[in-house]
Each structure stands twice: as structure tokens, then as C-alpha cells.
A = this chain, B = another copy of it.
Amino acid sequence: MERNLLLTIRYDGSAFCGWQVQKNGISVMETIQNSIEKTLKERPPVKGCSRTDSGVHGENYCVSFKTSNCIPTERIPMALNCNLPDEIAVLSCQEVDGEFHARYNALAKIYTYRVLNSPVRDPFWAKRAMHTPYYIDVESVNEQARAFLGTHDFSAFCNTGGNTLDNVRTIYGFNAIRKGDMVEMQVCGNGFLYNMVRIMMGTLINMETGLLDKNIIGDIIKSKDRQKAGMTAPACGLYLTRVFYDESFKEIYPGVENEKKIGI
């Protein structure tokens, strides 16, 4: 009998050319497909929760696929891990409804952006965080980022190359914290345009390092002009941290109901 399965995987993005299969480089998708084929003797299509860029990391990335193999669900993580390289691991596996799709059923996602904020760069964070010696004040970041909350047309925070029909997305929450030299900025939204998280983070970082004025994020959103926003922050600092397939994100980010709307 065919089952639909949902895997949660973790991967070091520096080893891959992103989720999607590419000509130049090994993708997370084909690495997972190869492992499934070797383990389950089938090569079904696999559905990823997001098309993460080359170099972006997955902390709890979600993948769904169907199989007729009768291996018990709880044994699948260890079985697949035997046929996966060190840079990627299956953390868990659960059976889901036949119609479930890792991408289309996602109600919200949390991304984390890590910035190592130290005088000297750290080799142990080389491909795992952006580095800047300029001081980042997380209270100021949180204050600036409030303008992102709500439902807006995020065209100003989208690089060309995406293929979305409309650019309206909802941001449910944002939170920047400091752990010693490490600044962690988390954003939760119902979806993100091409490079959107990296441009949001790059804009906030540019404001802290003095390359952009503060208190202009609302105006940038209104402009719908990519040129007005900041840099696309480096891929190495970005992690897909969590995908929500139920509404539990509303408990984490209360106030989701009282959204602002700009440009729609």
C-alpha cells in the first residue's frame, strides 16, 4: 500500500547548490532522491518545503514523498541516513495524509539569520554565518523590523529570478537576539519571495552599519522598488529553522490577526 511520508532533514548548505537540481553542483533534492532510491528501491518525486538557495542551511527542512515500500516508518530515518553523506541527515519521519505536500501545505516558516559580530572572523563559522566587525544593536534591529510585520506587497524585497504571481506576503513575527558575539535574527512569515529573507536581513544590517538610514522600511515597502532596499545578505548566514503545517505559530507570534497592510 502506498504511503505519503514527511521527512524532517538537516543539512549544511555549504556542501550543496541549494534544494533544486542544478547543472553545476550537487543539490539537496538529488542527494535525498539517491538515498531513497538506494534504500527503498524506488525513485519517487520528492517535494521540498522551499527552494533554498545555494549555501543556505536547513535546520529542520521538510520533504514529502510517496512510497510503496513496506519498511516501518520509524526505521526510515536510520535507513536513509546510512545512504546519505555527512553533510545531510534525516531527523524524523512521519506518515501524512495522501494529499499532503511539503510546500503547499506549509502555513508558515521561520528563517534564522546568523551574524558573527566580532573584531576577527571565526573559521568555525566561516560558511555558517555572515561576519561583520561593526556593532549590531539587537534592540535597534527589533525596532526597525517592526515595520515588516503584517501583510504587504514585498516587491522591494525581491530579486529578479523568482516566478511568483503576486508579491504579497504576511510577516507574523521578527525577533533578534544576541548570544555573545552571535546575533540571531528570526523571521516568521506565510511565505517568502525570491531572496526576500536575505534582502530583509541585509537591509537591517545595512541600517546598523550606517549604510542605510533608519526608520525607512515602511517607505521602502511602499516604493515597491528593489533599489531602495539594502544588500542581499550572504547565503551562508541563512537557516530554514522551522516549517508549520498547523496554526501553532499563532501561539508563538500573538497579534498575527492585527496585521497592517502596505501597498495592497
Contacts and interface: CB of A to CB of B under 8 A. Distances in A.
Contacts of A10: 122-124
B120 A91 contact: yes
A89 interface: yes
Nearest to A11: B123
A87 B14 CA distance: 13
Interface string A124-144: 101110000000000000000
Q: How large is the interface on A (under 10, 10 to 19, 20 to 34, 35 or more residues)?
A: 20 to 34
Contacts of A120: 77-78, 81, 89-91
A88 interface: yes
Could you tell me the dominant secondary structure of chain A's interface residues?
mixed
Q: How many copies does the complex hold?
A: 2
A123 B88 contact: yes
Nearest to A13: B123
Contacts of A81: 120-121
Nearest to A239: B124
A201 to B, nearest CB: 20
Nearest to A84: B123
Contact of A126 (B12, B90, B121, B123): B12
A239 to B, nearest CB: 9
A246 interface: no
Contacts of A90: 120
Interface in A101-128: 120-124, 126-128
Contacts of A121: 81, 86, 89
Contacts of A78: 120
A117 to B, nearest CB: 15
A81 B121 CA distance: 9
A113 B89 CA distance: 23
Interface string A56-89: 0100000000000000000001100100001111
Closest 7 CB pairs of A and B: A86-B126, A12-B123, A87-B123, A89-B123, A10-B123, A11-B123, A89-B121
